[in-house]
Chains A and B, each alone.
Chain A
Amino acid sequence: MAKTIEEINQKIKKGEAVVFTAEEIIGVVKEKGLKEAAAEVDVVTTGTFGPMCSSGAYFNIGHSKPRIKLGGGRSYLNDVPAYTGLAAVDLFLGATATPDDDPRNKIHPGEFNYGGGHVIEELVAGKDVRLEATAYGTDCYPRKKLETWINIKDLNEAVLFNVRNAYQNYNVAVNLSNKTIYTYMGVLKPNLGNATYCSAGQLSPLLNDPYYKTIGIATKIFLGGGVGYVAWQGTQFNPTVARSENGVPKGGAGTLAVIGDLKQMSPRFLVGTSMLGYGPTLTVGIGVPIPILSEEILKYTTVTDDQIIGTVIDYSDAYPNRRNEPVGEVTYAQLKSGKITLQGKKVPTASLSSYPRAVEIANTLKDWIKTGKFELTQPVAYLPGPETGLTFKPLNERPIER
């Protein structure tokens, strides 16, 4: 019954493709069985919507008259510093960039109400953004100062380029100390006062394709409300982590580097976000279609929350000091029930990623495919699987002799 992406695209073009979300497919396969469902179903759509710090965007702002070379100087968008180490009028803005005069954590915990992620959201929303730049001036680029409003519609390019998104599973965070801590996993109350997690679980892209059998470089995806592509494996890609029998990693494993035209995205799916005491970031919406090319691929998409294990990590000591001492393991079904049991204690849980919006993304992508608006792509190269032996290396410091 093996299908090809070409065959699936023919059906999409005719408006005949059979598409389910990764949530719906669970019931479909239960009812019809794997064999029958694999013959019928063409695509399973996934979705995730969570804070993803390794996100950013690059812009080409056009040349001013007289010209200025931003490269080597300093540039700010709504007071948030952008990276200028490129050619004359290209800028890169990272999601966690923070205004120079932000008090940061001087009064702990800092609020971080505005940063790079917020600038990206405002640009996408079509708002004017203030660009202020200084440069050193050259014979060909004489200008030393530039202050102007810019708008996304006037930029030559505005491209979202996130180097690590859509983590395949993630830590569950707790605090074993006796004081409140402020982390990228949210506010963690003392003595196991709460536990936070950040994955769409059974709807999450890479948890539905645990061995990267379909998702690869050039896979066309839903990104930030528009269309994007997988550009590469994401940074910190770690396919060799411990996996359950069903192949699903028990902790952070695969990641995606993604790229797409910011101009066609939407602020509903790119939201500037502030983590108290940690920093600003960007909440990103991603949906990946999984072509059902075989029964095996379909089987992976039927994974349920009770089959996905998250590793519980103490963020007061073990995490900051990079000690591999898990507090325990829990399933996403337990996490989503609102309470887990750790060290004999009932611990209330909270999610940092929005499941309702992940569902919305998977459904939107499903509609695009069903109505012929979105065809699938064949990856041009695959992501490195566990067989490559690739691991995520720590930094082993080497003293610099002086």
Chain B
Amino acid sequence: MVDKKIVLHFPKRLVDRPIVSHLIKDHDLEFNILKASVTQDEEGLMVLELKGKQEEYDKGIAYLKEAGVIIESLSQNVIRNEERCTHCGACITICPVGVFELDTTTRQIKFQEKKCIACGICIKTCPPRAMELHF
């Protein structure tokens, strides 16, 4: 089983083609779109989580490459500066995917990094600026 977050760049000529649809229909993969946008230069960008058997995953990636999609691994990730975090909890209701969880006994805030989609919303909303984007 693999479970990977990847960044797909769609050149302008591919933006109107149903590539992700084919990727899923033709391969036994589970997907979750974490982010999708078309830039000013009309290039497509998508952050995708792909889950499935290694063999299916490899075939899927090969299909994307052949179609002309440029693939990168998710190169940015959000980390918590433990020195700066005061465990106030302001982040809890801000994160769209519920990465931050309150431990009701210690009242400390757990940062469940695995759930993070690196959207970065927490970075500017954290009062002591403890959340950092790393490339």
Contacts and interface: CB of A to CB of B under 8 A. Distances in A.
Interface of A: 49-51, 109, 111, 113, 186-187, 189, 193-196, 271-276, 283, 336-338, 348-357, 359
Given A338-B104, A357-B86, A357-B87, A51 B93 contact: no
A50 B90 CA distance: 11
User: What bracket does the count of chain B residues touching chain A fall in?
Assistant: 20 to 34
Contact of A338 (B102, B108, B125): B102
B107 A348 contact: no
Given A189-B93, A193-B93, A352 B125 contact: no
B92 A350 contact: yes
A273 B92 contact: no
B96 to A, nearest CB: 10
Interface string B115-135: 000000000110111000000
A111 to B, nearest CB: 6
A353 B94 CA distance: 16
B89 interface: yes
A78 B93 CA distance: 33
Contacts of B88: 49-50, 283, 351-354
B8 interface: no
Nearest to A338: B102
A99 to B, nearest CB: 16
Contacts of B125: 186-187, 276
- For B91, B93, B106, B127, the residue with the greatest tally of chain A CB atoms inside 10 Å of its CB is B127
A247 to B, nearest CB: 25
Contacts of B94: 187, 194, 350
B92 A186 contact: no
Interface of B: 84, 86-94, 102, 104, 106-108, 124-125, 127-129
A337 B90 CA distance: 15
A51 B89 CA distance: 13
Nearest to B129: A274
A176 to B, nearest CB: 16
Contacts of B108: 356
Contacts, number: 75
Contacts of A336: 104, 107
Nearest to A110: B124
Contacts of A355: 87, 89, 107
- For B90, B94, B108, the residue with the greatest tally of chain A CB atoms inside 10 Å of its CB is B90
Contacts of A353: 88
Given A113-B129, A276-B125, A354 B86 contact: yes
Contact of A272 (B93, B102, B106, B128): B128
Given A352-B127, A356-B106, A283 B89 contact: no
A359 B102 CA distance: 16
Contact of A283 (B102, B106, B124, B128): B128
- For A109, A336, A349, A356, the residue with the greatest tally of chain B CB atoms inside 10 Å of its CB is A356
Contact of B86 (A49, A113, A186, A194): A49
Contacts of B128: 271-274, 283
Given A187-B94, A274-B129, A351 B89 contact: yes
Nearest to B93: A194
A272 B87 CA distance: 15
Contacts of A273: 127-128
A352 B90 contact: yes
Contacts of A49: 86, 88
A349 B90 contact: no
Nearest to B91: A350
Given A186-B125, A187-B125, 12 more contacts: A113-B129, A186-B90, A194-B93, A274-B127, A276-B125, A283-B128, A338-B92, A338-B104, A350-B93, A352-B88, A354-B88, A355-B87
Contacts of A272: 128
Contacts of A356: 86-87, 106-108
A353 B88 CA distance: 5
A191 to B, nearest CB: 13
Contacts of B89: 350-352, 354-355
List the 3 closest pairs (A to B, CB-CB), nearest first.
Answer: A194-B93, A355-B107, A354-B86
Contacts of A359: 107
13 contacts: A109-B124, A111-B124, A186-B125, A186-B127, A187-B94, A189-B93, A275-B127, A338-B102, A338-B104, A348-B93, A351-B89, A352-B89, A352-B90
